[in-house]
A and B are shown apart, each in its own frame.
Chain A
């Protein structure tokens, strides 16, 4: 299995709602990532988990709460979001240890497109 599966593909929520984005991989990768991507822009790193522990938080507002229940799953809990949080949220995974050729290669899911009303 060489895929990263993200659900849901589309999500519309109000500013008072609580929702979650889910991500799953079965490649044995021990690093998992959340990126946020606005239209026609590059992905922006939000969080990195390494061996199920949060290793990088790029100063993301607390209304985004990541969770890594086990080595195959990554969640992003959403609460009290703003309309400007509307974006494509990409999950990715990779080997946790950097290879000899430098930065690890990321395998991305297709993303969850979030619209905040």
Chain B
């Protein structure tokens, strides 16, 4: 079974602070996705990373795929209350079998 371990599990910070969420596995993946899920909604894709060592920026969010394609990180600069939500990394196993990481619940206090 492929496991995607995320850390930290919970994070509560003040507006304006920076944070990093990690997604680690012992398996190699061809790609990895990051989703954010807000309360009362389904997960929404933020980014897909494909190449080992790749860095992608989405406004204040920076995503990195590890060189060995076994891990990834999400860094948020100057967090805003609107960043609050459940952050999920996800990777594919067998065809059409997308497995989610253990999740990081982020609360940004105004």
What is A's interface to B at a CB cutoff of 8 Å? 4, 31, 33, 40-45, 48, 50, 55-56, 90, 92, 94, 96, 98, 101-111
Contacts and interface: CB of A to CB of B under 8 A. Distances in A.
Interface string B28-39: 011101000000
A103 B100 CA distance: 12
B95 A98 contact: yes
Contact of B100 (A42, A50, A55, A105): A42
Given A101-B50, A104-B92, A105-B33, A45 B42 contact: no
Contact of A110 (B40, B88, B97, B103): B40
B44 interface: yes
Contacts of A41: 103
Most chain A CB inside 10 Å of its own CB: which residue of B41, B42, B50: B42
Contacts of A92: 42
A48 B105 CA distance: 26
Interface string B20-31: 000000000111
Given A41-B103, A105-B45, 18 more contacts: A40-B86, A40-B103, A42-B100, A43-B43, A45-B97, A45-B98, A56-B96, A94-B96, A102-B48, A102-B91, A104-B96, A105-B48, A107-B45, A108-B43, A108-B44, A109-B42, A111-B40, A111-B41
Interface residues of B, number: 28
Interface string B73-110: 00000000000001010111011111111110100000
Contact of B42 (A48, A98, A103, A111): A111
A105 B91 CA distance: 10
Contacts of A45: 97-99
A45 B45 CA distance: 17
10 contacts: A4-B42, A42-B86, A42-B100, A43-B88, A102-B30, A106-B98, A107-B45, A108-B42, A108-B43, A108-B44
Nearest to A43: B100
Contacts of A111: 40-42
